[in-house]
Structure 1
């Protein structure tokens, strides 16, 4: 009788191993095989138990070395062979991580799936930089959006809805499209002076930060040549960032908008 294994969908967090949960560590220790994404940091991969089979399935922008269909099949094949599979993802598997898609594929084949949430990149950014996602008088809510569409399709977001000065907007996977995103938001009514914080490789030793404005972020991000992954935080909360001077015109806009 063949015993079917199981799959753990694990969020490894934004990169710092100290931000992983105890549940994530336990699941890693139980796994026979680790199927991991490109965005899982080297520091976290160092925690994988000796002897575990490592299967990289990373995707880079416009270069998917392992298509999603193939990733689904790898997970199923390993589990049906009786192995315990750790599907290790950056951030949280349920926030732009395609975790629910993989779970649906596995469960349709009778494979047990267990989840482990991870600290999101946005939460890691807030802890690392001190920029909150919400703040009384500056932001009453926060929205996460993707800056990259499947199959490289044209971005088709609800720009009028996103252009809300009272909401912090966090853009994932937007390094190649931030100029278009900024332009669309300004056309929808957001001020060009609204501050933007770009953070590359958040919470890792390679973290890089850039403060700009909505009208300038496309040029500044390109000039800075930030390494992916890059998270963009758009909103008045960026005015609270203390480690780099905020231009006077941005601060003046924040004071007026906060009245």
Structure 2
């Protein structure tokens, strides 16, 4: 019986896939996968499974979102089990909601399999808790592709004054504007900020600074990078662990996906 699984593959470390997500890979007839998923996950697909790359990078899409929607429906209409493998969580800046809408409209059975989003995982691997009793009681996940129009000032004022910790997706290109807007709308220029590149992977790199110093410090940082803004960033000095690992990972021999 045909079914589409919209699966969050997690932030990069293949061992952070959920058990249900792994099962959806293992039973798939077709897998449509994104750029930011770890290729190791594809090794768990059946030998007969068709693998379709749907990667998107800034200013370059291998397939349009409309084409991806059509492919999901096309393969499902053939009676196949389709797994749509998306980086992070499908419902957090993953366009999973748009794909689910199309499937629902066409009466195609589907399931949502949540994943660990990079907005929480990258800070954790960098030693930055998003909330802390002494530093932050609120957190917001926002897009670095900022809103335009007459509501722009209200948008930035809310982010600058109304939330303790900001996690910004897709914001590297607009980092200067993000810092400028936050300062202009009331955020202290000395507010700590961190950029975590390829969080949870062996390529992870972290740069820290303040809203007024980070642009120069992070001049060589590229996508994909998470931006974390708030006093919790100062805890990295005590809590950073992943980039300092010099022992075998806990799950070296017993990993679910190993």
TM-score range, shorter chain: 0.7 to 0.9
Aligned to 1:179: 176
Aligned to 1:234: 229
Alignment counterpart, residue 125 of structure 2, candidates 128, 132, 141: 128
Structure 1, unmatched stretches of 5+, are: 246-259
Aligned to 2:32: 35
| Larger deviation, residues 164-173 vs 197-206 | 164-173
How far 1:95 sits from its partner (Å)?
0.4
Supply the distance in 2 between the matched residues of 1:175 and 1:114 (Cα, whole angstroms).
32
TM-score (norm. length: structure 2): 0.86
Aligned to 1:16: 13
How far 1:191 sits from its partner (Å)?
1.2
How far 1:46 sits from its partner (Å)?
3.3
Please say if residues 32 and 85 of structure 1, whose CA atoms lie closer than 8 Å, have aligned partners that are also in contact: yes
Aligned to 2:102: 105
Supply the distance in 2 between the matched residues of 1:89 and 1:213 (Cα, whole angstroms).
32
Supply the distance in 2 between the matched residues of 1:172 and 1:146 (Cα, whole angstroms).
5
Supply the distance in 1 between the matched residues of 2:128 and 2:87 (Cα, whole angstroms).
21
Are 1:58 and 2:55 matched, yes or no? Answer: yes
Are 1:210 and 2:207 matched, yes or no? Answer: yes
Aligned to 1:256: none
Supply the distance in 1 between the matched residues of 2:228 and 2:125 (Cα, whole angstroms).
13
How far 1:164 sits from its partner (Å)?
2.6
How far 1:80 sits from its partner (Å)?
0.6
Question: Which secondary structure state, in structure 1, belongs to the residue aligned with residue 141 of structure 2?
Answer: strand
Aligned to 2:244: none
Question: Which secondary structure state, in structure 2, belongs to the residue aligned with residue 107 of structure 1?
Answer: helix
Aligned to 1:72: 69
Are 1:161 and 2:151 matched, yes or no? Answer: no
Question: Which secondary structure state, in structure 2, belongs to the residue aligned with residue 212 of structure 1?
Answer: strand
Question: Which secondary structure state, in structure 1, belongs to the residue aligned with residue 237 of structure 2?
Answer: coil
Structure 1 pair 227/41, CA: closer, same or farther in 2 (3 Å)?
farther
| Larger deviation, residues 89-98 vs 166-175 | 166-175
Supply the distance in 1 between the matched residues of 2:63 and 2:182 (Cα, whole angstroms).
33
Question: Which secondary structure state, in structure 1, belongs to the residue aligned with residue 99 of structure 2?
Answer: helix
Please say if residues 199 and 207 of structure 1, whose CA atoms lie closer than 8 Å, have aligned partners that are also in contact: yes
TM-score (norm. length: structure 1): 0.86
The count of corresponding residues between Structure 1 and Structure 2 is 238
Structure 2, unmatched stretches of 5+, are: 241-258
Please say if residues 140 and 163 of structure 2, whose CA atoms lie closer than 8 Å, have aligned partners that are also in contact: no
Aligned to 1:199: 196
Cα-Cα RMSD: 2.1
How far 1:165 sits from its partner (Å)?
7.1
Supply the distance in 2 between the matched residues of 1:244 and 1:26 (Cα, whole angstroms).
33
Aligned to 1:81: 78
Supply the distance in 1 between the matched residues of 2:10 and 2:131 (Cα, whole angstroms).
20
